[in-house]
A and B are shown apart, each in its own frame.
Chain A
Amino acid sequence: MNIKDYETMYYADSEKGEARVRGIYNAILKALETQDIPNALELYYIFIKEDTFESDKYMSVIIFPEYLALFEKYPEYQSISSYHLMWAYKWINESVGRFYQVSWEQITNIFLNYERLCKKFHYNLKTYYRTLWNVMYNNGVGQIDGIGNVRECHKKMLQCSRDCLSEIPAGECDDEIKYLLFVENDIEKALKKAIPIFNGRLSCGQVPHYTYTNFADYYFETGDLKNAKLYADKAIRVILKDYGYSDSMIYYKGKCMLIFAYTDLQKALNILKRQYHDFSKNKSGEQCFYFYLGAYHTMKCLEKQNRKTVSMNLPHDCEIYKETGRYSVCDIKKYFYDKAALIAEKFDERNRNCFYNNMLKKEYDFEI
């Protein structure tokens, strides 16, 4: 069988995301059963790509060690499969920090192993430093002993030339914008950098989705609600169009929900109601935290408008599920807060800081 046969047989007609991931996994099992190692390796890569970009990244983190072990067990196929393995490994580097279950010691070891493989297969360390500063920044971790801090990693990343593991230009540009906005706090430079993305010359599956959200987030956190709403509107339009039913963008939907809670409450409520079902299956602590945070602020703002109850189509297995579908705003606000707090506690314990709790406890005194 060739790779196309596996696709036709196991996942060609599956919807993107979880269903497709399940189909690809069955294809992997078939390839392993028949000792079809080259295709099994390729299918593992397809699995991780699908789960990374269309789902919550949980299964790819679980399955990647199998992939790496198979790759190491069959050195005869390494020359043809190392390129895809390294891409998948890079995505895993980006994903592991998003799960509070993975300790910093484990994250560090995973990165060091990636560094070793980069050297072994003659890739430079650009992607190593890029994923490193991102994972540190995303967790509010300023420094990793023996490795350095966010700025140092970013600087070292810039010193490395591009190679074939580097992000495509749209992703690289978006990354730089994130750095300029949140690490350097330089909105002017970020806006200039974003021109090719805003005019559509640079784009990919996640850009401009990420870029718009980052600008919206920046403006929101700096109190510029007008621009925050402008960019959140742009972000949610492309996110819902491309990832309406997918749980891969829950983080960004949560961020937009938070901004809309203070700028367009009905829109925030719509996101919460429409996306809750997809979100409720999400296993990524980070993504869940931001969604609960947005949901909490949405309820908080509803409460400020003296709304006592809200209708929600919660899943039956939700702890506060009611047959009537009608919930007290106060109760549901508390529920979302408690859920976010539980996750924040775990992340902060892992990160040894208060990054998540600070975010959760932050008050926004905007007039609504």
Chain B
Amino acid sequence: MDKDYKFKVNLGGMIDILSNHLYSSPDVFVRELLQNGTDAISARTAADSNFSENDAKVEIEVLEGKKIIFRDNGTGLNEEEIHKFLSVIGQSSKYDIENNRANGDYIGRFGIGLLSCFMVTDHICVRTRSYKSPDTILEWKGMADGTYTIEKINEEIEIGTEIIIENNKAEKDSDVVDDYYNCDTIANLVYYYGLFLKYPVYTVNGEERTRLNLKFDFDAAKNKELCMNMGKTFLGEDFLDCFTLKSPSGLFSGIAYVLPYPVSANVRNMHRIYLKNMLLTESGERLLPEWAFFIRCIINTNDLKPTSSREDFYEDETLDKARTEIADCIADYFEDLDFNNKNMLYEIVRIHNLAVKSVLSSSDGLDDILLPYIMFETSLGEMTGKEITEFGGTTFYTVDVNQFRQLAPLYAQRSELLINAGYVYENAILTKLADSSINTDIEKLTDTDIDFMLDDSDFDGDPAAEKLLTVASRILKKYDCKAALKEFRPFDIPTLYTINEKAYEARQIRRAKESANEVFMGMLSSFEEEISSSTVACLYLNTNNLIVRKLIDCEDKEKIRCYIEILYVQSLLSGHFPLLHNEMKILNENLYKLMMF
């Protein structure tokens, strides 16, 4: 007969897992206690009409090396609540079980926070006086082995809760645990986690009370100087600028900072992300849009769901929404700069060109604002989108960096514009720029355009030049390249090699075929076959150049062959094309032959 069995839980082991393995560092016990304290105060503010929020406080007393006492004047707990909430793992007073949702005003929700104290002690003592039954003061003592006791005590305490942890951990790395029983350590941790907590947090030393947290309202963060100082203090940078982040749906509020130097998209930025004013994480990759890697932020959110370790957020629709709204805030900031502080926008785009380009390529809303500021590498130096659209006439862009390097000097000599769109994003952005431009046509460079840009040669029709062209074409045929006579500047460039994308691919396939074994040879040939019909390569001989002029006068066919092949390889090298094995060999052989002439 089937029998129902129940799991048995090793409570001590469970506590060990929760307290020692869930959290990344023992530091978090301070966060958990601050959290419990402020949640209890929020609850009392809502429920006890005799209690004023102005009287709210959390006090921390440290007896050096021995004991830490956390006090709050929140609701306190009665005996029933102690059994229910302090002694059942996973049950939180902040969770509305009937409606299966967490109370929105509270930070905690899992009922496991108090256990984090077991990382620094073996006994937790909770003394509490509930506002509902102020005549009774109870003391709960929980042990790391999973046992606990409750008793009534006569000692007088305020309404609220006092948590006492003693430096008595049996198995410990003593230096690590001892360090927590120190006033400065605790003050630093309060400063770190609870700087923006709504209620005042004090350290108490005899009669002396020192407030540790700030009175700061994210929603009202208008003072720019103060915000910049905060950025320097908490994020450690002299930022270029800052702006407020305010969610239209109330999901978050905060301050975003623009880094003063370029960063790679792969670098993980540090932020300070607060959940209900308590620091949740310093890693904000999941909250910020992927492209916002040039931004750092201090941000407080109320509605995002933390994971149980409270060191990250769940990936859900609310997080998606927050991400979208943060993206909108950044867009609004750019729009504002465009109206009110153009110099700052130029500066940001100059420093974070790549990031801004990625913003543009991924969204349509910012085109009008950002396109004029984007910097492009052109044949006439760096130019902004605005300068390009005002240039007039037809300008060209190439998606091949090597082709740009090869052609830029030629375009510069003619004071014409060639834009380098060989890097990621440029192509997409130039398409947008072309769409937005009225005065200037921006077109992708084709081989016909290159041919058209180069001047017809004065030697056209000259029998010697025609002869050279015939010979050169014959020589270059085996390299799938044709020859043409043109005039161009600068004069000291003898040749120009152009190749379309397909031909470039074909070169790479040919390079692979040079070493491929028979297993892959057929496959590479199939790829080559498919693209061979659309490959175009051309070697332009500059009849303004002295070497080419000498060649026109040269009668020795063998000498012409040597020079043409050398010029061909030289043009490949200057265009940064990887040489095929036979091309390197040709260069050496022809140099040798020249020595023999």
Taking Cβ atoms with an 8 Å cutoff, the residues of A that contact B are 12-19, 22, 25, 29, 59, 61-66, 68-70, 72-73, 96, 99, 101-103, 105-106, 109-110, 113, 237-238, 241, 244-245, 274, 277, 313, 315-317, 325
Q: Determine whether the beta carbon of A18 is less than 8 Å from that of B524.
A: no
Contact of A110 among B505, B508, B515, B519 (CB under 8 A): B519
A245 to B522, CA, bound (A): 33
Tell whether A66 pairs with B511 under 8 Å between CB atoms, given A29-B578, A106-B526.
yes
Q: How many residues of B contact A (CB 8 A)?
A: 41
User: Binding site of B, secondary structure by majority: helix, strand, loop or mixed?
Assistant: helix
**B513 surroundings in chain A (CB, below 8 A):** 65
Which one of A62, A96, A110 has the highest number of Cβ atoms from chain B below 10 Å of its Cβ? A62
Residues of B within 8 Å of A15, CB to CB, are 265, 354, 358, 424-425
The answer to whether the Cβ of B229 comes within 8 Å of any Cβ in the partner chain is no
How far, in angstroms, from A102 to B52 measured CA to CA in the complex? Answer: 78
Q: Taking CB as reference atom, which chain B residue is nearest A17?
A: B424
Beta-carbon contact of A63 and B512 below 8 Å: yes
Q: A15-B354, A66-B516 are in contact. Are A244 and B290 (CB under 8 A)?
A: yes
Within 8 Å of chain A (Cβ to Cβ): is B249?
Answer: no
Least CB distance, B268 to chain A, in whole angstroms: 15
User: Do B290 and A106 touch across chains, with their CB atoms under 8 A apart?
Assistant: no
> Can you name 25 A-B pairs with beta carbons within 8 Å?
A15-B358, A16-B265, A19-B423, A61-B523, A63-B508, A65-B520, A65-B521, A65-B523, A68-B520, A69-B516, A72-B517, A96-B523, A101-B526, A101-B527, A102-B523, A103-B523, A109-B522, A110-B519, A245-B362, A245-B424, A313-B364, A313-B431, A313-B432, A315-B431, A316-B431
By beta carbon, the residue of chain B nearest A18 is B424
Asked if residues A65 and B362 are in contact (CB atoms below 8 Å), the reply is no
- Residues on B with beta carbons closer than 8 Å to the beta carbon of A109: 519, 522
CB contacts (< 8 Å) of A22 on chain B: these are 401
**Contact partners of B526 in chain A: CB under 8 A:** 101-103, 106
Report chain A residues within 8 Å CB of B401: 22
Determine whether the beta carbon of B427 is less than 8 Å from that of A277: yes
- A101 contacts B424, C-beta separation under 8 Å: no
Q: Pick the residue among A61, A96, A101, A241 that contacts B290 (CB under 8 A).
A: A241
Assess whether B264 is interfacial by the CB under 8 Å rule: yes
Q: Which residue of B lies closest to A313 (CB)?
A: B431
Shortest CB-to-CB span from B346 to chain A, Å, is: 22
B403 to chain A, nearest CB (A): 13
Looking at the complex, which one of A238, A244, A245, A317 makes contact with B444 (CB distance below 8 Å)?
A317
Contacts A109-B519, A237-B320, A316-B443 supplied; 14 other A-B pairs, CB < 8 Å: A18-B424, A61-B523, A65-B512, A65-B513, A65-B515, A68-B516, A70-B515, A96-B523, A101-B523, A105-B522, A245-B424, A277-B427, A313-B432, A317-B444
Q: Which residues of B sit under 8 angstroms from A238, Cβ to Cβ?
A: 315
Known: A237-B320, A325-B435. A13 touches B264 (CB 8 A): yes
The complex places the Cα of A22 from the Cα of B399 at a distance, in Å, of 13
- The chain B residue sitting closest to A237, CB to CB, is B320
Which residue of the partner chain A has the closest CB to B323?
Answer: A241
Structural contact, A66 and B362, CB atoms closer than 8 A: no
Cβ B361 vs Cβ A245 within 8 A: yes
Q: How far is the CA of A73 from the CA of B516 in the complex (A)?
A: 11
Closest chain B residue to A109, Cβ basis: B519
Question: Which A residues touch B364, using CB under 8 A?
Answer: 313
> Known contacts being A62-B512, A106-B522, is A68 close to B517, with CB within 8 Å?
yes
Nearest residue (CB) in B for A350 is B526
CB of A41, distance to nearest CB on chain B (Å): 13
Bound CA–CA A40/B308 (angstroms) = 46
**Given A106-B523, A313-B431: A65 and B443 interface contact (C-beta under 8 Å):** no
In the complex, how many angstroms separate the beta carbon of B528 from the nearest chain A beta carbon? 9
Q: Which of B348-377 contact A (CB under 8 A)?
A: 354, 358, 361-362, 364
Scan B494-534; emit 1 where CB is below 8 A from any A CB, else 0: 00000000000100110111011101111110110010000
* Chain B residue at minimal CB-CB distance from A242: B290
Do A65 and B517 touch (CB < 8 A)? Answer: yes
Most buried by A among B434, B516, B530: B516
Q: Using CB atoms, name the residue of chain B closest to A72.
A: B517
Whole-angstrom CA separation of A110 from B354 in the bound complex: 40
Complex-state Cα separation, A313 to B401, whole angstroms? 24
Residues of the A chain whose Cβ atoms lie less than 8 Å from the Cβ of B46:
none
**Which residue of B362, B428, B517, B522 is within 8 Å of A69 (Cβ)?**
B517
Per-position binary interface string of chain B over residues 410-445, scored 1 when its CB falls under 8 Å from any chain A CB and 0 otherwise: 000000000000011101100110110000000110
Quote the shortest CB–CB distance from B123 to chain A (angstroms).
34
Chain A residues with CB below 8 A from B523, complex form? 61, 65, 96, 101-103, 106, 110
The answer to whether B431 and A274 touch across the interface, beta carbons within 8 angstroms, is no
Q: Among B521, B523, B527, which residue has the most Cβ atoms of chain A within 10 A?
A: B523
Q: Scoring B residues 429 to 468 as 1 if CB is less than 8 Å from chain A, else 0, what string do you get?
A: 0011011000000011000000000000000000000000
Residue of B nearest to A321 (CB): B431
Q: How far is the CA of A103 from the CA of B527 in the complex (A)?
A: 11
Residues of B near A65 (CB, < 8 A) are 512-513, 515-517, 520-521, 523-524
Q: Using known A-B contacts A65-B520, A66-B516, A315-B431, determine if residue A274 contacts B423 with beta carbons closer than 8 Å.
A: no
Contact across chains for A62 and B423 when beta carbons are under 8 A apart: no
In the bound complex, CA of A59 to CA of B501 (Å): 13
Report the minimum CB–CB distance from B417 to chain A (whole Å). Answer: 17
Q: Which residue of B lies closest to A241 (CB)?
A: B290
Q: Nearest-CB distance from B512 to chain A (Å)?
A: 5
Which residue on chain B has the smallest CB distance to residue A346? B530
CA distance A25 to B520 in the complex (A): 20
- Tell me whether A277 and B527 are in contact in the complex, defined as CB-CB below 8 angstroms, given that A13-B264, A63-B512, A103-B522 are known contacts: no
CB atoms of B520 and A64 under 8 A apart: yes
Residues of chain A with a CB closer than 8 A to B432's CB: 313
- With A and B bound together, what is the CA distance between A73 and B515 in angstroms? 10
B residues within 8 A CB of A14? 424
Nearest chain A CB to B155 CB, angstrom units: 47
Q: How far is the CB of A26 from chain B (nearest CB, A)?
A: 8
Which chain B residues border A110 with CB–CB below 8 Å?
Answer: 519-520, 523
Nearest chain B CB to A42 CB, angstrom units: 18
In whole angstroms, what is the CA distance A14 to B434 when docked?
25
Q: Which of B362, B443, B511, B527 contacts A274 (CB 8 A)?
A: B362
CA distance A101 to B505 in the complex (A): 15
Residues of A within 8 A of B527 (CB): 61-62, 99, 101
**Contact residues in B for A12 (Cβ distance below 8 Å):** 264
Which residue of chain A has the shortest Cβ distance to B443 in the bound complex?
A: A316
How long is the Cα–Cα vector from A62 to B511 in the complex, in angstroms? 10
The CA-CA distance from A245 to B427 in the complex, in Å, is: 13
Chain A neighbourhood of B264, CB < 8 A: 12-13
5 closest A-B pairs (Cβ-Cβ)? A65-B516, A69-B515, A65-B520, A15-B424, A19-B424
- Is the Cβ of B358 less than 8 Å from the Cβ of A245? yes
Chain A residues positioned under 8 Å from B315 (CB to CB)? 237-238
Please indicate the chain A residues that have their CB under 8 angstroms from the CB of B435 in the complex. Answer: 313, 325
B322 to chain A, nearest CB (A): 13
Q: Mark B120-141, 1 if CB is under 8 A from A, else 0.
A: 0000000000000000000000
Tell me the bound Cα distance from A22 to B443 in angstroms. 24
Contact A113 B516 (CB under 8 A): no
User: How far in angstroms is the closest Cβ of chain B from A115?
Assistant: 12
CB distance from A98 to the nearest CB of B (A): 13
In the complex, chain A residues whose CB is within 8 Å of the CB of B444: 316-317
Tell me, rounded to whole Å, the shortest Cβ–Cβ distance linking B580 to chain A.
12
- The CA-CA distance from A178 to B361 in the complex, in Å, is 33
In the assembled complex, the CB of B575 is this many whole angstroms from the nearest CB of chain A, namely: 13
Chain B residues contacting A64 (CB-CB under 8 Å) are 520
Of residues 316 through 339 on chain B, the ones whose CB sits less than 8 Å from some CB of chain A are 320
* C-alpha gap A65/B524 in the complex (Å): 9
Q: Which residues of A lie under 8 Å from residue B521 when comparing CB positions?
A: 65
Contacts A19-B423, A19-B424, A313-B431: A62 and B443 contacting too (C-beta < 8 A)? no
| A17 to B358 alpha-carbon distance, docked (Å) | 14
A105 surroundings in chain B (CB, below 8 A): 522
